[in-house]
Each structure stands twice: as structure tokens, then as C-alpha cells.
Amino acid sequence: MLRYAVQRLLLAIPVTLGVLLIGFILLNLVPSDPATVRAGPSASAEVIAQIRTEMGLDRPLWDQFLRYVGNVLIGDLGTSLVNNMPVAEELSRAFGATLELVVLCLLWALPTAILLGMFAASRRGTLWDRLIMGGSVAGVSLPVFLIGMTLLWVFGYKLQVLPFTGRGGPLWTVNGLRHAILPSICLGLIFIGPVARMTRTSMLETLKADHVRTARAKGLSERVVIFRHGLRNALIPVTTLVGLQIGYLLGGAIVTETIFSWPGVGRLAVGAIVANDIPVAQGAIIALSLGFIAMNLMVDLLYAALDPRVQAK
Amino acid sequence: MNDDKTIVAQGARPVLDIRDFSVELRSGKTISPIVDKVNFEVHEGRTLGIVGESGCGKSMLSLGIMKLVPSPPACIAGGKVLLDGTDLVPCSEREMQEVRGNRISMIFQEPMTSLNPVYTVGFQIIEALRAHSSLTSAQARSRAIDLLREVGISNPEKRVEEYPHRLSGGMRQRVMIAIALACNPRVLIADEPTTALDVTIQAQILDLMRSLKSDSGTAIILISHDLGVIAEMADDVVVMYAGRIIEQAPVHSLFAAPSHPYTQGLLGSMPTVDGDQERLQPIPGTVPPPHDRPHGCAFHPRCKLSDETCRTQRPPLEEKISGHKVACWHTGLGARP
């Protein structure tokens, strides 16, 4: 297990470097000059040239990239062109807010999705099954902004039971939790659909397996058969999907965060791109990608823990 | 294959007595019988072989005895399964859980997939032990190691921690046998236990089953389509066709004088070592599907003896000579000249 974990961790390094490179190149392709943005609209050509030299923008691209990677490694992501704040500081604050939302979303949506999937599998072909599967299609296909706006309109505006803009403090305070409820429901609704569907399919497949018949032939109770011999095996493919979905939640939170004015990475990235604040945009892209990579690493490890055959390969 | 034993056993009460047992497949309004009023007995320390082609209802019969038929669409339609005199058919699911793996155990055809890949071999044996006894986990573990040793697995202390994917097919089938024997069952149902294995491994597994039977007195129901395996292992044989028993006899009598044209066909389609047959004689056609069984004798479309009676009337299973029953208008007791 340890060897497998180390192997996976080492494999994540080239992927991370790739992400840094792509992020760097993409934002260098943008027709906007960071020196001009920093210097402001009324600066003279000399000032801009001087700032360009200070920022190292006159050096060759590869040199800029190596310096950038070097700085990233020591935790220096540069400073914002707009407000001169260190990017790392802004990012860590925003990332915390996004993570808060994702965690709250998972806390309710993951068990709900798995239970719904199992329930649908056990009531296969009934009205319940069709309702759950129909709902999951709706969750997958309705656009996030529509779900978000509807929640906001119903609970925030019409019923006025929950606040719907911004963050109300840390999650463990009442106000913080109340502010996070609507955006986390919005995120959760798009998460549940595919996960419930996958759980159902996987569970139905597993319950047909020979080893489940063996478990029954041993005289185990139906509860033990379903949870011990069905669910654990059925969750193996679901794990992969959940990992990918969490990755999407980190990035896909952009729309949700914008609707609910949640100060997370997604909103930071959108703001930075609009304001041509390249260091911040770059930092946000890297943070989201690293989140994705970390998630995948966790899925790989969890996968190995769930299925002993994986480590053997 | 010894006659004095047959006589002794016939006087005693059978461990398992199956009477008019039927399993049906229900889909929508169509009801198709898969197992149709089957009768047989299994005695302590003896092996009953059940033979037949794929689709004849052998596996459904064995799952039916355990009340494990996939329901829906299949269901037990009637009859009795008397285990030491108690009928299992009316038992509740909870009562059946007490019986399964404890008094009747089962091993299956597919050793590669019959064990759960995510749990160790030891865990899966211990689970069976603890489902039916109050052993502590340490006791169950040491019993699991003993069981692995009994079924001929070397280094059982180490193997007990292995996952199934690290074992070969033969080893996994041994583990399945260990699980089945964990609670000293009265009856062991082996559904094609060697079909998926290499010939040499097959012989080892059959040897193992034979020695376990003589050690523990467990009654065995051995389901196979392989007549060689049946000849080797069984004391009595039941031949099934299209959900019914068409011939039933002690093994020597069946192989010496197969009476039903289908049994004759099965034996004729088997290669012999001395090879005086020019060609193997296949039985033309296939087993009819449950929803489309012919009237009269189910075998008549494939039988070269069939006539008008065979097409319209179903032959009863009747004793031809002592202990040898057959259901055929032409070769059975009621055979017309």
C-alpha cells in the first residue's frame, strides 16, 4: 500500500508541472500587457518599459517560466496587478471559502446520492426508481445558473428564510452555516444526479454477481449481504466518479459562487480575468488544478483501499 | 458402487427427501415450469448425481432446494423439501438463513467469481463460521486455518490472509469447499464443481470431495453434465430432461443398462477409451426452452423411437427393475411390444 501511494504521489509531480506550464502559456497568449495594467492608464511609455524590466517581462519566455516555477515552489505567486496584494494570500482565503462550500455540499449530497442510488436499485422498475432516476437526469441537465437562481428566488427572496449573498463567517458559526446552505444545495443538486445513477447501476450489477449468491448460500442475512458484499463492491466504480465530480465542484463552483456572491476561487478567477489581473488568474487556475490533482490522488488511494486487486497491478 | 450399502441405506430415513418439487418461471402472464414435480432422496454418506444438458433445470433445482432461486421471475411452485423430516418450503427467510451454509451448503461452478474479491479468504470462511456459531474471532480464525488445511491448502496460516485473486482456480474451489464444510453440513450441493477446472485439478477436487464424504458422512448432491465425473463419484443417478426426471437408478445399473433413449444418447455421445465406436453419436436438436416444452414426452422431437403416444401422452416415471426407474413409453415398464 505504501509503495503504491508513493508511486501515485510521484506520478502527480509531472502532471503538476504540466499544469503550471499550460497555465503560464495560456495567460501569455492573452493580448494584454501586465506592465500596462500595473502602470495604469495614464503612465508614459518610459514608465511602462521600466515596470516591464522590473517584472522581468523583457526576458525570454522560458526564463520567465523557470523563474515562475521557482517562485511557485517557495510559495510566491506574485502580487496582484490591481491591488498589489500577494496572490498566495488572496488565494488561500478564497480557496478556504470554496473548500468550505464543497465540504458542506459533500456532507449532505454524498450520503444522499448513495442512499438514493441504493434505494432505486432495491426498488428497481417501480415508481420510486423512475422518480429518482428522472430527478437525477434533471439534476444533470438543468443548467447550474437556473437551479441557483430558482433557489435564490424561492428561499432568499420569496420565503426570505435564508441569506443568499456572501459568506457569513466560518462554517461552524450559525450565521456562517446559514449563508452556506443555499450555495451548497445548489452545488449538491448537480452532484447527486450522476452519483446516484452510477450507484444504482453498480449496485444492480454487483447484486447479480456470483459472490453475492455465495454470500446468500452461507446463510448471511440480507442486510449483511447487501451492505457487506454488495455496497462495498458497488462503491468501487462510484469512487472514481465521485473524485471527478469533486474536481468539477471545485472548478464548477464558479457559476454558483458568482450567483451567491461567494468569495471563493471561482469568483476570484472570474474577477481577475475580467480585470486582466494575470498573476491572480494564473494562481487561481493553478489552485483549482492542484485541487483536481489532489482529488484524483485521493481517489487512487481510496480505490486501492477498497479493492485489493488494484495494488497488485 | 456397492450393493450391500445401497440396501442398508434404503432402510434408513433419507437426509434430504425431495417430493413433487417444482420451480416456475413467471414473466407477465406466462408461467413456465423449469423444474417439474421432481422426486428423489439423498442418504447419509452417499452421493446422488444429477445429470443433464444445459437448460434442463439442474441448477434451478439446486438453488430451489436452498430457496435461492432468483425471485422474481422464478418461484417455488410446490412440493416438499424434507431435511431430516422437516419441510423447508414453508420456512421463512430467517429460518432459511439458519439452514443455508449450516445444514445445507453449496459450491458453485465458477470458482473464479464465487468469492468476493475485496475480502480475504480467511474473512470469508470466518464469516460463514460465525454466522452459525458463537465462536470468538480468534477461535473462528484458527478453525478457518484448520479447514484450509483439511481441504489441502498448503501453508494455511499464510493463505488465510490472501485475497482470492492471488489464488488459482483449483485453490479457490478448495476455499469454496472449506466455506461449505465450515459448519459440518448434512447435505453438500455441488453444482458443476469441476467444470471450470483443468483435468488434473478436477481429479484432485473430486478426490477431496470423496474423502470428505467418507470422513464426515455428509450427503452430496453432485450436479454435472459430465458422465465421467458422475460414474466416478455417484452412488445413485438422476437424469433430468426439460425440468423432469426421466431416469433414476443406482449408478452401476444406469451405466450398464441405460433405458431412456435420452440417457442412451448421452452415453453414446461420450468418447470411450477403447474407441470401438467409429464416430460419436450426438443427440440431434437442443433442450426445448421452458416456455416452449412439447406436449407428451418432452424428448419426443429428438427421439428416433417416438410415435403418436409419445406426442400426446406424457410417460410416467416407473420402476422397471429394482431401483431403476424410467419415464418412456418404449423402454419403460409400460413398454408396448
- Residue B319, pLDDT score: 83
- Residue B279, pLDDT score: 67
Tell me what the pLDDT averaged over chain A comes to: 86
A142 has pLDDT over 60: yes
Using a CB-CB cut-off of 8 Å, the residues of chain A touching B132 are 219
Is B49 domain-assigned? yes
Residue B194 and residue B74 share a domain: yes
Beta bridge partners of A185: none
Residues 147-176 of B with CB under 8 A from A: 163, 165-166, 176
Average pLDDT for A60-89: 85
CA distance B193 to chain A (A): 13
Residue B272 and residue B129 share a domain: no
CA distance A226 to chain B (A): 13
Residue B297 and residue B228 share a domain: yes
User: B163, B182, B201 — which closes off a domain?
Assistant: B182
The span from the CA of A147 to the CA of B111, in Å, is 49
A198 has pLDDT over 90: yes
| The total number of structural domains that make up chain B | 2
Which CATH number covers residue B29? 3.40.50.300
Which ipTM was obtained for this model? 0.85
- Residue B1, pLDDT score: 43
Residue B288 and residue B205 share a domain: yes
Residue contact B114–A221, C-beta within 8 A = no
- Residue B4, pLDDT score: 43
User: B182, B201, B236 — which closes off a domain?
Assistant: B182
Residue A212 banded pLDDT, cuts 50, 70, 90: very high
Residue A156 banded pLDDT, cuts 50, 70, 90: confident
Residue contact A218–B176, C-beta within 8 A = no
Residue contact A211–B97, C-beta within 8 A = no
Which domain covers residue B158, as residue numbers?
Answer: 112-182
- Residue B337, pLDDT score: 39
Q: Where are the alpha helices (DSSP H) in A123-259?
A: 127-141, 144-151, 174-207, 210-217, 222-224, 232-259
Residue B259 and residue B210 share a domain: yes
Residue B200 and residue B86 share a domain: yes
Average pLDDT for A19-39: 79
CA distance A71 to chain B (A): 44
Residue B167 and residue B289 share a domain: no
User: B91 and chain A: CB distance < 8 Å anywhere?
Assistant: no
- Residue B6, pLDDT score: 45
Cα angle B174-B175-B178, degrees, rounded to a multiple of 5: 90
Name the residue in chain B with its Cα closest to that of A218.
B101
Residue contact B101–A221, C-beta within 8 A = no
A80 has pLDDT over 50: yes
Residue contact A233–B166, C-beta within 8 A = no
Report the top-level CATH class of A88-312.
Answer: mainly alpha
User: B68 and chain A: CB distance < 8 Å anywhere?
Assistant: yes
Judge whether A195 and A113 are in contact, CB under 8 Å. Answer: yes
Residue contact A233–B100, C-beta within 8 A = no
Is B196 domain-assigned? yes
Is B117 domain-assigned? yes
Q: In this structure, what C-alpha cell is assigned to residue B275?
A: 474407441
3-state secondary structure B82-121: EECCEECCCCCHHHHHHHECCCEEEECCCCCCCCCCCCCH
User: In tens digits, what is the pLDDT along chain B, a chain of 337 residues?
Assistant: 444 444 444 557 889 999 999 998 888 788 888 888 999 999 988 999 999 887 788 888 999 999 988 877 888 888 899 999 889 999 998 999 999 999 999 998 888 899 999 999 999 999 999 999 888 989 999 999 999 988 888 899 999 999 999 998 888 988 998 998 888 899 999 988 888 778 888 888 888 888 888 888 889 999 988 888 899 899 999 999 888 898 999 999 888 888 888 888 888 777 766 656 566 677 777 778 877 888 888 888 888 887 888 888 888 888 878 788 888 888 755 454 3
For residue B66, the tally of other CB atoms under 10 A from its CB is 22
Helix orientation angle between A87-122 and A232-259, rounded to the nearest 10 degrees: 130
The span from the CA of B85 to the CA of B167, in Å, is 39
- On the 0-12 / 13-18 / 19+ scale of CB atoms within 10 A, B186 is buried
Residue B251 CB contacts under 8 Å (≥ 6 apart), including other chains: B1, B49, B230, B231, B234, B235, B236, B237
User: B278 and chain A: CB distance < 8 Å anywhere?
Assistant: no
Query: pTM here?
Result: 0.79
The amino acid at residue A39 is: A
Residue contact B128–A218, C-beta within 8 A = yes
Is B331 domain-assigned? no
Q: Where are the domains of chain A?
A: 88-312
Residue B133 and residue B35 share a domain: no
Residue B239 and residue B294 share a domain: yes
Which of A204, A211, A222 to mutate to probe the B interface, most B CBs <10 Å?
A211
The span from the CA of A256 to the CA of A251, in Å, is 10
A205 has pLDDT over 90: yes
Residue B217 and residue B96 share a domain: yes
Residue B237 and residue B130 share a domain: no
For residue A62, the tally of other CB atoms under 10 A from its CB is 8
Is B147 domain-assigned? yes
Average pLDDT for A296-305: 86
- Residue B115, pLDDT score: 93
A45 has pLDDT over 90: no
User: B140, B162, B182 — which closes off a domain?
Assistant: B182
Residue B178 and residue B211 share a domain: no
Q: In this structure, what C-alpha cell is assigned to residue B111?
A: 470458482
CA distance B72 to chain A (A): 12
Nearest by CB to B114, which of A211, A308, A309?
A211
Residue contact B100–A213, C-beta within 8 A = no
- Between A130 and B110, where is the model more confident? A130
pLDDT in tens, A169-188: 787 788 888 888 899 999 89
> How many beta-carbon pairs under 8 angstroms link A with B?
71
Q: Residues of chain A with pLDDT > 70: what percent?
A: 98
Judged by DSSP in three states, B32 sits in strand
Beta bridge partners of B86: B83
- Residue A306, pLDDT score: 85
